[in-house]
């Protein structure tokens, strides 16, 4: 499968030439060219979620807002309708009370953080696997560490399909060598497929400190090809302020 993680950037009309309206056509052309099977989006505001549903007609697009009323940003997932079935979806909050909408860890930013946890089935093979999409806090390193540990701990605790292969994707807001990323690299069952991609956040080419913060991580009988960044630019317009990252993933026999 061709798997993509894509921080699409919160659209508040703040980005001048790179505002979302100017990026829409480039994004759609890129999807038509690459034909990804599964896309994990971050920073999806409600009107952008609606745009994705209206335009990615070959995909089932789903997600839940992170706010108290299930509004605001989503961790949206899109799967090809002709190749995959959605068996289960669950959204939980990265906090000490994960089932309380809008809850956060002490000391983090005011932005609630969530994980969209799904169980999918590939039609051709009948293979069942999990896909998790998350976006860790941009302010607190401690909240990032707690959130990542929560995601990794929660997944095996799920009773249904707990042993299924897993793909975790998202914007972790942390460099690979940061302390909060240690739970990934200390776990021998996990493979960080995007370790060699280099910079992913670039701020439309203007970030004073570009960073590598977008990841695809696998667990179980999965093989990951070399991850590639989508670095398309047309007339100074980027796909987003992050490079989407794409990886070919296959099920091992």
Across 169-187, average pLDDT: 96
This prediction has a pTM of 0.97
Among residues 143, 76, 83, 78, the alpha carbon closest in space to that of 108 is found at 143
| Close Cβ partners of 190 (under 8 Å, ≥ 6 residues apart) | 152, 184, 217, 218, 219
CA atoms within 13 A on the CB side of 248: 3
Among residues 177, 251, 159, the alpha carbon closest in space to that of 213 is found at 177
In angstroms, the CA 31 to CA 234 distance is 15
**Structural domain total, the chain:** 1
For 207, the domain range is 2-251
- Element (H or E) spanning 117, and its range? strand 114-122
CATH number of the domain to which 188 belongs = 3.60.10.10
Provide the pLDDT for residue 108: 97
Provide the pLDDT for residue 40: 99
Please write the tens of the pLDDT for every residue from 111-128. 999 999 999 999 999 999
In angstroms, the CA 36 to CA 47 distance is 22
**Is 132 in a helix, a strand, or coil?**
strand
Is a pLDDT exceeding 80 seen at residue 250?
Answer: yes
Provide the pLDDT for residue 159: 78
Please write the tens of the pLDDT for every residue from 67-102. 999 999 999 999 999 999 999 999 999 999 999 999
Higher-confidence residue of 251 and 161: namely 251
Other Cβ atoms within 10 Å of 17 Cβ, number: 11
Other Cβ atoms within 10 Å of 101 Cβ, number: 18
178 confidence band (pLDDT: 50, 70, 90): very high
- Element (H or E) spanning 62, and its range? strand 59-62
Is a pLDDT exceeding 80 seen at residue 253?
Answer: no
Is a pLDDT exceeding 90 seen at residue 160?
Answer: no
198 confidence band (pLDDT: 50, 70, 90): very high
53 confidence band (pLDDT: 50, 70, 90): very high
CB 141 within 8 A of CB 176: no
Please write the tens of the pLDDT for every residue from 12-48. 999 999 999 999 999 999 999 999 999 999 999 999 9
155 confidence band (pLDDT: 50, 70, 90): confident
Provide the pLDDT for residue 154: 85
Q: Is 69 exposed, middle or buried (0-12, 13-18, 19+ CB in 10 A)?
A: exposed
CB 142 within 8 A of CB 94: no
**Is 128 in a helix, a strand, or coil?**
strand
Q: What is the mean pLDDT of the chain?
A: 96
In angstroms, the CA 123 to CA 40 distance is 19
Across 146-163, average pLDDT: 88
Torsions phi, psi of 24, nearest 5? -55, -50
Q: How many degrees, rounded to 5, is the angle at CA 223 between CA 221 and CA 226? A: 160
Provide the pLDDT for residue 102: 97
């Amino acid at each position: 499968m061709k798997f993509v993680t894509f921080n699409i950037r919160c659209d508040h009309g703040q980005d001048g030439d790179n505002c979302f309206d100017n990026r829409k056509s480039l994004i759609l052309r890129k999807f038509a060219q690459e034909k990804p099977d599964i896309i994990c989006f971050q920073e999806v505001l409600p009107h952008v979620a609606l745009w994705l549903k209206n335009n990615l007609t070959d995909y089932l697009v789903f997600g839940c807002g992170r706010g108290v009323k299930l509004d605001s940003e989503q961790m949206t997932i899109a799967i090809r309708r002709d190749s995959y079935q959605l068996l289960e979806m669950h959204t939980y909050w990265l906090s000490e009370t994960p089932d309380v909408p809008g809850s956060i860890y002490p000391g983090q930013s005011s932005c609630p953080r969530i994980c969209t946890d799904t169980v999918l089935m590939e039609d051709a093979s009948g293979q069942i696997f999990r896909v998790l999409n998350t976006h860790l806090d941009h302010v607190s390193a401690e909240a990032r560490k707690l959130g990542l540990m929560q995601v990794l701990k929660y997944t095996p605790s799920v009773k249904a399909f707990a042993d299924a292969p897993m793909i975790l994707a998202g914007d972790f807001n942390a460099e690979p060598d940061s302390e909060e990323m240690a739970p990934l690299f200390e776990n021998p069952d996990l493979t960080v497929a995007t370790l060699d991609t280099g910079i992913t956040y670039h701020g439309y080419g203007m970030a004073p400190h570009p960073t590598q913060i977008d990841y695809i991580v696998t667990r179980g009988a999965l093989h990951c090809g070399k991850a590639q960044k989508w670095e398309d630019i047309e007339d100074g317009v980027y796909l987003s302020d992050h490079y989407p990252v794409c990886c070919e993933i296959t099920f091992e026999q």
